[in-house]
Amino acid sequence: MDSVEAGGARIPSLGLGTWTLRGRECADLVAAALDAGYRHIDTARLYDNEAAVGEGLRASGVARRDIFLTTKLWWSDLAPGDLERAAAASVKRLNVDQVDLLLIHWPNGTIPIAGTMKALNAVRAAGLTRHIGVSNFPTALLKQAIAASEAPIVCNQVEYHPYLDQTTVLDFCRDNDIALVAYCPLYRGGGLLEEAPIAAAAARHGKTPAQVVLRWHVQQPGVVAIPRTSKAGRLAENAAIFDFDLTDDEMAAITALRRPVERLAENGAPRAPAWDA
């Protein structure tokens, strides 16, 4: 599987998002994903499935060193002291020695970023995570986080799909050796996979529309995609995106689908930052 290198980390270009998955379903799907060739699993304290994810890792039989494991700390746990306790609790629930990437899930405007980043660096220094990063950070907050961190910020995990223009964030990430990890890469709510440029590319390449969209993501320098699915049968389909290339014209036509769109995740919620235009 291809990977993105950023800030000293090597992140597999395709990962399994586990939001909404719980219990046995989650553990079985994680194990099935690893059996299908995935080597990147994404979870979070908020998802209430870290224990199940850890169970799936162990059931897979894949060596821990071969899996890139990400978890995220909730925005209420970002104060110094709280953050270190929350990180240790996540690692314990996963039943691993350390995670590969620990993220701030959402910024918290009431807690200074400098203190949060100092605590996040302390967690890294203590060996609970190999790398650190953020999620849902616009460029203004990314700049503050970079300035406050001794260790590299290796990723910014954000909503990204052909309907949502993330050019400003993506350019900033590339300029600062930060990977952009795309959640909701296939959008939600219908419509995207029926768009003419996607359907046409799928027909030309003998691929499904979902494979075309995921290929559009990972073919962009510095972009990782973490689609979520609850269907084991979709895992192999989502993973089969590294044996073809979209043409420049196909990439441009899919990119041109971007439009002013209501964000799928947390738009207008109290924790949502001021997004980049």
160: annotated active-site residue? no
Residue 270 has pLDDT above 70, yes or no: no
Residues 6 or more apart in contact with residue 34 via CB below 8 angstroms: 41, 56, 57, 60, 62, 67
> Could you tell me what percentage of the chain is helix, strand and coil, using 3-state DSSP and rounding each to the nearest 5?
40, 20, 40
Percent of residues, the chain, with pLDDT higher than 70 = 97
Q: What fold, for 3-186+222-231?
A: TIM Barrel (3.20.20)
134-157 residue pLDDT tens? 999 999 999 999 999 999 999 999
| DSSP code of residue 91 | H
Residue 267 has pLDDT above 90, yes or no: no
Residue type at 264 in one-letter notation: L
16-60 residue pLDDT tens? 999 999 999 999 999 999 999 999 999 999 999 999 999 999 999
Take residue 2 and report the two structure tokens written for it: 């291809």
Torsion, Cα 267 159 165 199, to 10 degrees, reads -120
Q: Which of 38, 47, 163, 187 is catalytic?
A: 47
Task: Look at strands 9-12 and 3-6 and give their pairing.
Answer: antiparallel
205-257 residue pLDDT tens? 999 999 999 999 999 999 999 999 999 999 999 999 999 999 999 999 999 99
